[in-house]
Structure 1
Amino acid sequence: MFRRLIMAFAALAFIGSANAELKIEITGGINEGHRIAVYQFAQDPNVKFDVASVVAADLMRSGKFAPLSRNNLPQGGVVNGSIDVEKAALSSAEFVVGGIVKSLGNNIYNIEFQLVGLQGANKGKVLAHFGGRTSLATMRQASHRVSDRIYEAVTGQRGCFRTRIAYIVQKRNSKFPYQLMTADYDGYNEVAVVKSTQPIMTPAWSPDGKRIAYVSFEKRKSAIFVQDIVTKKRKILAEFSGLNSSPSWSPDGTKIAMTLSKNGQPDIFYFDLAQGRFVQVTANRAIDTEPTWSADSKALFFTSERGGKAQIYKKDLVSGKVERVTYQGARNLSAKQIPGTNSLVVITQVNGFRVARVDADGSIYMLTTSTLDESPSVAPNGSMVIYSTVYQGRKGLALVSSDGRFKANLPSSAGEISSPAWGPLLSK
């Protein structure tokens, strides 16, 4: 982020599946949103995995649902995957979920579920129904698929529970103290993509989810790499003299924006992947950094101190027009557009550095109450924000819904965690 960039820029003058999984600790918002009854799925005795628990947790973390405690659900509401609407309605929930996990042999299982309305005009209506095959190894991903279907049926937006995140883990006494990791959005299935003895920073996913751009200091100077997470092959995108930082992939996949100081002062550039050339976007005496794309890939938001203190600006790449976006707060940094809206998520300096939402009219709505937040990244459906913060004396990750209702921390015993980046939606 902007504070780290200033320190890194100064330093250049002198220097020329993992063992741990993140665990979500909920801190707020569990009683808000649509009331939904998620009954335990009828399962083959050999299946020890609790599909319903994963589904209920997914829905709760979105900030859009308030799953009822399983212990308080009316008996007989769901029997062997079949829903009794009248009994389930005694829960006062708006919706009920029932399902079954059936063995097909050879470690293959079929997961089938129904989402049924319990109130008003939806009472008794099947709002979502799906069946699909899975193995025990992919049971969690199959459970996330159920959550995605339920979320979309109720909200009208695609769910993002099968997405992955990238982040940096720092283990001070490790052979490779800096590691670029990926994991499911809820911290499971963690994989090491890059291990290094030197700092790694600011990972950014490609829109197809197959590559990650990041900054590495492995050559004792900053350089931007692009790595294929499947083949493990990588290439250097930028290693100019000075600063190479903050890569950001355009939503249409044709360009990668970044901050370069190859001309002396940090400015915004982008690399045109089709033409194989760099294009300078800003040329200002003040520091311009942290570029991020608009949803249509036609404009760049960035952080600049050209007005005196760091604020968010926007440059239209067609007209060339630059406009200031944020005015409230002493400083505003690290902008990310919320998909499907004209709002931004930023880090704002108000009683510390906090995650906030900037709406189209310029008003700021605080999403967090912590004071050392940085590096926000928005879920591809706009429902949640993941960011880095200090929790119990250690840097780690946290989640907040984009409406501020749901909050959770993702602490890890593996080391300090920073620079989260939310991956794209997967195909249905």
Structure 2
Amino acid sequence: MLNRRTLIAAGLGLPGAAALAQFRVEISGVGATQLPIAVTRFRDEEKAPQPVAAIVRADLERSGYFRPIDGNGTALDETSRPVMSDWRAKNVDALAAGSMLKLADGRYDVRFKLWDVVKGSDLGGQASAVDPADLRLAAHRIADIIYEKLTGDRGVFSTRIAYVTKGGGRYTLRVADADGEGGQVALNSPEPIISPSWSPNGLELAYVSFENQKAVIYAQEVATGKRRVVANFRGSNSAPAWAPDGSTMVATLSREGGSQLFLMDRNGGNVRRLTSSSSIDTEPVFSADGKTIYFISDRSGGPQIYRVGAGGGNPERITFVGSYNVSPAISPDGRTLAYISRSGNVFRLHTLDLSPGAQPVALTDTVDDESPSFAPNGKLIIYATRADGRDVLMTTTLDGRIKARLVSTTADVREPAWGPYGR
């Protein structure tokens, strides 16, 4: 099977993984500190098409910061006045409850409230009227509010991921909720689709398709499906990545011989070469401030991660531990590099604090990890791996303690890319 690691050796990318993917989430590990929270079943939730409270609980647990406490035997809603001493006796630090009411126009009035059980205080809530099709999104947004109120950091549960599935000899590019559910097909093809990359505003996806029997970079509007060719130059066109302002892309092109990095406008114009070497330079990604591009090069004899200024210059080598380091991803704050390192025949997700003198840390015990991508708040990483003979997606906290496995019931799943805020 081709994969992203083949890129260094053969100039090819991963034919990602296709089909109707329905997920179940398996969460493992225990965080150093987890806040115990109870999210009770919303009043009249059983009359709605989505289990909102259960989605909220799963989101919070997957973050690694919360330990759900069973409170479903208690009848509460946002108008209740909980007896805090009773919840403290259950070792609950925070409590959320709510209700769902179907309106005359078919929408649902979804309400919730959050309490700090330790302090005995009301932390507020929200009410919104949503279409039935948006109930999952409403649940994710409730989880985002709870997460932010209790951690001080912005939640990412209402963001989206893109991924590629393979099944039945076909490849499918999909967009889904951050928990892998609610998938929508962006592209279906008998030929490989690789390297999805979100535009900074979340409105477009760039990717590489082999539908014309060669690697061509496209950009596609997520909402409408309208797409355009960005790079179809002589040779291979691969590994697109957007600049933070969305006006520019960097990609790997072989139009001048070899595989080198080129900058271009978002529509493929004004192409200018960024690197010049006899090596393969590929898998570029911009830093969040747009000033630096991280990439893979085998100029030292084996694939390692380098960085170069977005305006060009002399590349600087970043990884020195291990002989094979690929697939760089940079945290939103620019402090942490995530990547895949090979030791023997084992490929594992690592992180490297970019402070001077820091050493890499392995986050996983799996053996075939690929394609890390940071959540927009920098608190989680999604990546692809193999488990029980299947290609699956997983998320992990940055300390590796809490992992959530998104298990597809119908297809192999690869090439994840976590989308930005702004949905």
When the two structures are superposed, what TM-score results if normalisation uses the length of structure 2? Answer: 0.91
Work out which of the residue numbers 359, 368, 388 in structure 1 matches 2:353. 359
User: How many residues are matched?
Assistant: 414
Amino acid paired to 1:146: I
Shift of 1:319: 6.8
Aligned to 1:191: 184
Report the equivalent of 2:136: 140
Q: Which runs of 4+ in 1 moved over 4 A?
A: 75-81
State how far apart, in whole Å, the 2-side matches of 1:328 and 1:128 are.
48
Show CA shifts across 1:350-376 (max 9, x none).
Answer: 361111111123321211110100111
- Provide the C-alpha distance between the structure 1 equivalents of 2:184 and 2:80, rounded to a whole number of angstroms: 35
RMSD: 2.4
1:306 paired residue number: 299
Once the two structures are superposed, the pairs formed by residues 328-367 of structure 1 within 5 Å of their partners are: 328-350=321-343, 352-361=346-355, 362-367=358-363
The within-5 A match list for 1:61-76 is 61-70=62-71, 75=74
Query: Which residue number in structure 2 is paired with residue 3 of structure 1?
Result: 5
SS of 2:6's partner is helix
Distance 2:171 2:268 in 1: 33
* Aligned residue in 1 for 2:25: 24
Q: Deviations over 1:29-73 (max 9, x none)?
A: 3795222121222226622532211111001111111112346x7
Seen in structure 2, the aligned counterparts of structure 1 residues 146 and 27 have a Cα distance that, compared at 3 Å, is same
> 1:112 matched to which residue of 2?
111
Deviation at 1:349, TM superposition (A): 1.8
Stretches of structure 1 that go unaligned for 5 or more consecutive residues are: 12-16
- How far residue 202 of structure 1 moved from its aligned partner, in angstroms, is 0.8
1:28 is displaced (CA, Å) by 2.6
Q: Give the structure 1 partner of residue 125 of structure 2.
A: 129
Residue 18 of structure 1 deviates from its aligned partner by 6.5
Matches of 1:105 and 1:367, distance apart in 2:
50
Q: Determine the C-alpha separation between the residues in 1 that align with 2:257 and 2:78.
A: 69
Partner of 1:294: 287
Q: Work out whether residues 101 and 111 of structure 1, in 8 Å CA contact, stay in contact via their aligned partners in 2.
A: yes
For residue 14 of structure 1, what is the aligned residue in structure 2?
none
Change (3 A) 1:181 1:79: closer
Query: Separation in 2 of the partners of 1:64 and 1:172?
Result: 38
State the one-letter code of the partner of 1:244: N
TM-score (norm 1): 0.90
The structural deviation recorded for 1:106 is 2.4
Could you report, residue by residue, the CA deviation over 1:313-366 in whole angstroms, capped at 9, with x for unpaired residues? 111224724222122233221111111241111111236111111112332121
Letter in 1 for 2:207: Y
Map 1:351-390; keep pairs closer than 5 Å.
352-361=346-355, 362-390=358-386
Does residue 1:222 correspond to 2:221, yes or no? no
In 2, distance between residues paired with 1:10 and 1:413?
28
Contact 1:32 1:66 (C-alpha < 8 Å) held by counterparts: no
Q: 1:412 aligns with which of 401, 408, 418?
A: 408
Query: Which segments of 5 or more consecutive residues in structure 2 lack a partner in the other structure?
Result: none
Aligned to 1:99: 98
Alignment of 1:42 with 2:43, yes or no, is yes
Alignment correspondent of 1:52: 53
What does 1:144-155 correspond to in 2, within 5 Å?
144-155=140-151
Q: 1:19 to 1:81 in 2, by over 3 A?
A: farther
Q: 1:81: how far off?
A: 4.2
Residue identity opposite 2:353 in structure 1: D
In structure 2, what is the equivalent of residue 182 of structure 1?
175
- In structure 2, relative to structure 1, the CA distance for the partners of 1:298 and 1:387 (3 Å cut) is same
- Alignment check: 8 A CA contact 1:37 1:91 kept: no
1:292 touches 1:336 (CA, 8 Å); kept in 2?
A: yes
Quick one: structure 1 residues 401 and 258, their matched pair in 2 at CA, closer, same or farther if it must change by over 3 Å?
same
CA separation of 1:32/1:402 partners in 2, compared to 1, >3 Å: closer, same or farther? same
